[in-house]
Amino acid sequence: MSRYDGNTFSNFEIPGVDVTGHAASLMWSIAEDRDGNIWFGSNGRGAFRYDGSNIVRFSKQDGLGSDIVQTIMQDRAGILWFGTRDAGLSRYDGIAFAHSSMKPDADGGYVWTMLEDRAGLLWVSLLGDGLYRHDGKSFTHYSSADGLGNTYVQSILEDRDGTLWVGTSGGVYRFDGKTFSNFTREDAGRKL
């Protein structure tokens, strides 16, 4: 990994990660928690927490759902969420990991991205399976049946008005809380 201090880059090694070109040395995500720790999600070695001095590794053996961590975020309650490539969501309360199943008939999925909106709802995309909203108790699934015409959701943003914008491989969708509206290249220059 590299760190930039405003003037120069400095490299540091992450213990247990062979950087000689092996795919497990890839870092898919970086997030900072409210305590200033930096978290890294790797391609096969789990997640790493860097506190400025020490690096600690968390893996499946520690309760993380998978060692392939695509995305990491911390919610306003302080819970860290780990989106994995093959085991759905894991959450970490600072003590232990727990699994959060979005689909009652499956225990996994490829989590692409996550967002906590200003209402405290967690939005999660599963590769090829649309968007899931978590209200703290259960998940609600949004797919093509709900107007989300492309279920390959790759990015999620909430704007200052509280509107959700969803980037997919089939264009951008705007969600006003009830309806998805699609915008593609053909809409460029058109007033939204």
pLDDT digits (tens, 9 = 90+) for 63-80: 999 999 999 999 999 999
pLDDT band at 10; cut points 50, 70, 90: confident
| pLDDT tens digits along 71-129 | 999 999 999 999 999 999 999 999 999 998 776 555 678 999 999 999 999 999 999 99
Position 18 pLDDT exceeds 70: no
At residue 186, the pLDDT reads 65
CB 70 within 8 Å of CB 47: no
Q: Where are the beta strands (DSSP E) in the chain?
A: 2-4, 9-11, 27-32, 38-42, 47-50, 55-58, 69-74, 80-84, 89-92, 97-100, 111-116, 122-126, 131-134, 139-142, 153-158, 164-168, 171-175, 180-183
For the chain, which domains are there? 1-90 (no CATH), 110-191 (2.20.25)
pTM of the model: 0.85
